[in-house]
Amino acid sequence: MKSFPLFLAASLFSVSAAVAQQSPSTTTSRPSTSSTATAVERDLRIFADWVSEKVSKTADEIARETPRVTEEFNRQSKRIDKAVDSLTVEGKREYSIQKKRYGDWSARRDSLDRAARQPQTAQQAQDRLLGEKVVLNQARATELPDLYARFIETTRAQRRQWSSADWSNASAVLGRLNARYEQVREQLPLEERVRIRSWQGEFRTLEKARDVKGVMAE
């Protein structure tokens, strides 16, 4: 009779073990650190591409979508901020660089917007493009190569941010430069005349490219 309780206990233990083996264990599923890191790195790549696209646009192009650009920047940056700790040191540095690029571009855009609300006079536009006050119809022949060089350098550096008014002002300044050039060009050596012709052509090429881009964007 003493063996019966032992047999019963052994049977109950066996049943409990079998039930335990058949019962699935329940665990709370959480995103792994590696999957979070992969997602935020993907978001960073998208963000960097987006910033590069926006900062390369002209003032006229971006003016048509300014509110949406600001909203999109806030949306993407907030998404990355939530998981920024999952980025590598290099990733965090890249994120800071892209935010600074956008910030610098945004500040420059705001400055241009303010300037656009206060239109420049023809003389102010000329001073800005040439880097100094010049009476063009009195400029010496020897001064013209340097004036053309400064004009085209300013155009190269600022053209992506120019509005239609800026392009009109630049074209007018070039017209005055060209008028003076025609008056004194015989006083210049052939080499300087070739350089000036090259710069004249470069401006017109940039101007036409801008016009084509504007038509395609419409």
Only one residue has tokens 């023809």, namely 122
The answer to whether position 146 is within a domain reads: yes
56 lies in the same domain as 134: no
User: Last residue of a domain, which of 116, 138, 153?
Assistant: 116
Question: What's the pTM?
Answer: 0.48
Tens of pLDDT, residue by residue over 187-197, are: 999 999 999 99
Question: Residue 63: CB partners within 8 Å, gap ≥ 6?
Answer: 113, 163
97 lies in the same domain as 138: no
d(CA 56, CA 101) in angstroms, rounded, equals 11
**Count of the separate structural domains present in the chain:** 2
The answer to whether position 196 is within a domain reads: yes
Question: Residue 84: CB partners within 8 Å, gap ≥ 6?
Answer: 40, 92, 95
d(CA 35, CA 18) in angstroms, rounded, equals 36
Torsional sign, CA 187, 192, 195, 199: negative
Question: Does the pLDDT of residue 4 top 70, yes or no?
Answer: no
What is the pLDDT at residue 201? 95
147 lies in the same domain as 209: yes
Contact 84, 92 (CB under 8 A): yes
Angle at 49 between CA 48 and CA 50, to 5 degrees: 90
199 lies in the same domain as 130: yes
Question: Does the pLDDT of residue 104 top 60, yes or no?
Answer: yes
152-177 burial by CB neighbour count: b if 16+ within 10 A, else e?
Answer: bebbeebbebbbeebbebbeebbeeb
Segments forming the whole domain that contains residue 106: 33-116
In this prediction, residues 54-58 reach a mean pLDDT of: 76
Tens of pLDDT, residue by residue over 127-153, are: 999 999 999 999 999 999 999 999 999
158 lies in the same domain as 212: yes
59 lies in the same domain as 135: no
The answer to whether position 47 is within a domain reads: yes
Tens of pLDDT, residue by residue over 13-53, are: 554 544 445 544 444 455 566 677 788 899 999 999 999 88
54 lies in the same domain as 137: no
